[in-house]
Amino acid sequence: MSFHECGGNVGDDVYIPLPIWVSEIGKKNPDIYFTNRKGRRNPECLTWGIDKERVLGGRTAVEVYFDFMRSFRVEFDEFFVSGIFSEIEVGLGPCGELRFPSYPEKHGWRYPGIGEFQCYDQYLLKSLRKAAEARGHTSWARGPDNAGSYNSRPHDTGFFRDGGDYDSYYGRFFLKWYSQVLVEHGDHVLSLAKLAFEGTCIAAKVSGIHWWYKTASHAAELTAGFYNPCNRDGYAPIAAMLKKHDAALNFTCVELRTLDQNEEFPEALADPEGLVWQVLNAAWDACIPVASENALPCYDRDGFNKILENAKPLNDPDRRHLSTFTYLRLSLDLMERQNLLEFAHFVKRMHGEAISELPIEAEEKI
């Protein structure tokens, strides 16, 4: 269920905007979109600030999502009854992922920028004011003014640097509120998805933001809504929310190797393997199904081996494993002979067949 625009992000080669009737409302009320500190709007999805605001022709955003899901369920009833539709993944943000649109390429973001907080539409600011008043600190009803811009590095900002304001009393208050907005949005939409698709498994996708993972603040995760600095587990609350709705967690970047990232972008201080291990274990500890997919095109054996390693961890006493894996994606590159042979080798191993680890060329000779 895609409630976001397609186009302008990594891997997008088509452009499908939000429905015209939504865009028309957005022209009169641009606060229905996520907004950064400078006031720039991002029309790729609706701000979570209007989840319960009747600004969409008399309906709230959550009601619009529910009406769409219910209509889909009725229209394609035969596919649900027959079991052809085995799972519904519910879009919860940009690219269908549960995250703030903190690193939009079309706004100039480039890897490994830390991104920007996206809470400056009038509805999220109203929520922030209420939270600050409830806490008894009205001066905290603001976003941080020293968090840099899309392509800043953590150490260049007063907020994200080691010992920075992210760990101050105000910083902890703001980040807790910001991440809670994310969790509550997932909670609202999935509660209605479970109602619309009763009897069918539902899932939600969480993005793998692995850059700056080796720093104390985890800045890129913070701007995306994952309150996961080095002294806090930001993914356990998300896993608990998914558990509440019997929803599976779909996570990305299981093919990425930390060593490769460090060689290609040493300045990013990335650790995709550490992030994947943290998130998968948070989900397994919550006893929810875990699915995954690759973040970038993958045709080599090292990448496939990393996927297999995450899909079926060796020597796990609890025999935990991924429930499903989605390969991205069918393309002309995949159809090249060597790539297709490697992919076939990977699929056989994923299904438990005993396959030689010799190079493809050697296997063919044998």
CA distance 223 to 226: 7
- Closest by CA to 238, choosing from 280, 196, 193, 194, is 280
Residue 168 near residue 161, CB atoms below 8 Å:
no
Q: How far is the CA of 72 from the CAs of 21, 59, 144, 243, in angstroms?
A: 19, 18, 41, 24
Q: How far is the CA of 330 from the CAs of 11, 150, 207, 227, 256, in angstroms?
A: 12, 32, 21, 34, 19
**Could you give phi then psi for residue 148, rounded to 5 degrees?**
75, -160
Omega cis (within 30) before 112: yes
Q: How far is the CA of 151 from the CAs of 111, 115, 145, 185, in angstroms?
A: 8, 6, 16, 27
Q: How far is the CA of 38 from the CAs of 107, 143, 180, 265, 318, in angstroms?
A: 12, 11, 23, 29, 49
Catalogue the active-site residues: 97, 293
